[in-house]
């Protein structure tokens, strides 16, 4: 499912607006991404989309050809460039529509939406996940094949197998079996391997999902 350009632009703009409202201390708060602060998430979204093939290959080599290690460490390295440079690059990405080399546009949309949640949730900042972003971002996680699942939080298909997911604040469902009901935000965090509390899930299928999150 292709990601409409206007949806990607809207979500990138929303993330940028969030970052601009944060003070220096909030930029240092740990995000939902293990080992990453807010500033590291922002740096990842700034420079991952403009990392060329040659630079990406060199970065992989420096990190033992481990994609996860390269992504994790590069973001921390890029964050040293500072807040003004990060915001400027994010503005450029917004204007150009830049996306990670070799990846579809929906991958960039997933980054904007899910990493936006990675930043907002620890800071207690609420923002409704738009339905026109929810559907393609959820579908991207559910259809991503191994071994690429390593960079989207593991296998979403395996995590939710045998359960019918139902968004309580949007017209979206997936799968079959006992129902697990939650907000669109919680369902996306679940699909992308982020921590969610069992009390955020309701329905007969919630116990099965909660057991898989342990």
CATH of the domain at 205: 3.30.1050
Q: Based on the domain organization, do 158 and 123 belong to the same domain?
A: no
Which of the two residues, 133 and 5, has the higher pLDDT score? 133
- Give residue 204's pLDDT: 95
Alpha-carbon span 7 to 110, nearest angstrom: 11
Q: Based on the domain organization, do 100 and 31 belong to the same domain?
A: yes
* pLDDT exceeds cutoff 80 at 210: yes
- Give residue 62's pLDDT: 79
- Give residue 66's pLDDT: 67
What is the average per-residue pLDDT within 145-157?
A: 76
Domain hosting residue 21, numbered range: 5-127
Alpha-carbon span 179 to 206, nearest angstrom: 7
Q: Based on the domain organization, do 171 and 199 belong to the same domain?
A: yes
Assign 65 a pLDDT band (cuts: 50, 70, 90): low
Assign 63 a pLDDT band (cuts: 50, 70, 90): low
Please say which residue of 127, 145, 168 terminates a domain.
Answer: 127
Q: Based on the domain organization, do 86 and 106 belong to the same domain?
A: yes
- Give residue 1's pLDDT: 46
- Residue 107 maps to which CATH number? 1.20.120.450
pTM: 0.91
Neighbouring residues of 46: CB distance < 8 A, sequence distance ≥ 6: 78, 85, 86, 89, 90, 93
- Give residue 56's pLDDT: 65
Q: Based on the domain organization, do 146 and 201 belong to the same domain?
A: yes
Q: Based on the domain organization, do 117 and 206 belong to the same domain?
A: no
Q: Based on the domain organization, do 19 and 123 belong to the same domain?
A: yes
Highest mean pLDDT among 96-100, 125-129, 176-180: 176-180
Assign 2 a pLDDT band (cuts: 50, 70, 90): very low
Please say which residue of 101, 127, 153 terminates a domain.
Answer: 127
Q: Based on the domain organization, do 98 and 152 belong to the same domain?
A: no
Q: Based on the domain organization, do 34 and 119 belong to the same domain?
A: yes
Angle of CA points 93, 99, 104, to nearest 5°: 150
Please say which residue of 127, 156, 188 terminates a domain.
Answer: 127
* Number of folded domains that form the chain: 2
Q: Based on the domain organization, do 48 and 121 belong to the same domain?
A: yes
Q: Based on the domain organization, do 138 and 201 belong to the same domain?
A: yes
- Give residue 164's pLDDT: 97
Number of neighbouring beta carbons within 10 Å of residue 133: 27
What is the average per-residue pLDDT within 166-176?
A: 96
* pLDDT exceeds cutoff 60 at 161: yes
Least-confidence region, from 30-34, 61-65, 167-171: 61-65
Q: Based on the domain organization, do 34 and 94 belong to the same domain?
A: yes
Which of the two residues, 7 and 153, has the higher pLDDT score? 7
């Amino acid at each position: 499912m292709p990601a409409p350009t206007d949806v990607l632009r809207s979500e990138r703009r929303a993330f940028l607006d969030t970052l601009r409202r944060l003070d220096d201390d909030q930029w240092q708060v740990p995000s939902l991404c293990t080992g990453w602060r807010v500033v590291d998430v922002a740096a990842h979204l700034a420079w991952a989309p403009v990392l060329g093939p040659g630079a990406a290959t060199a970065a992989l080599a420096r990190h033992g050809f481990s994609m996860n290690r390269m992504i994790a460490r590069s973001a921390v390295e890029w964050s040293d460039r500072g807040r003004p440079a990060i915001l400027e690059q994010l503005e450029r990405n917004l204007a150009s529509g830049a996306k990670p080399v070799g990846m579809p546009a929906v991958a960039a949309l997933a980054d904007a939406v899910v990493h936006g949640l990675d930043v907002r949730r620890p800071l207690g900042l609420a923002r409704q996940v738009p339905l026109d972003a929810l559907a393609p971002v959820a579908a991207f996680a559910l259809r991503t094949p191994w071994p690429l699942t390593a960079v989207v939080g593991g296998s979403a298909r395996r995590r939710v197998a045998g359960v019918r997911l139902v968004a309580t604040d949007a017209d979206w469902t997936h799968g079959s079996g006992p129902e697990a009901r939650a907000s669109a935000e919680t369902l996306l965090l679940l699909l992308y391997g982020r921590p969610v509390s069992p009390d955020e899930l309701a329905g007969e299928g919630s116990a099965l999902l909660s057991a898989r999150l342990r």
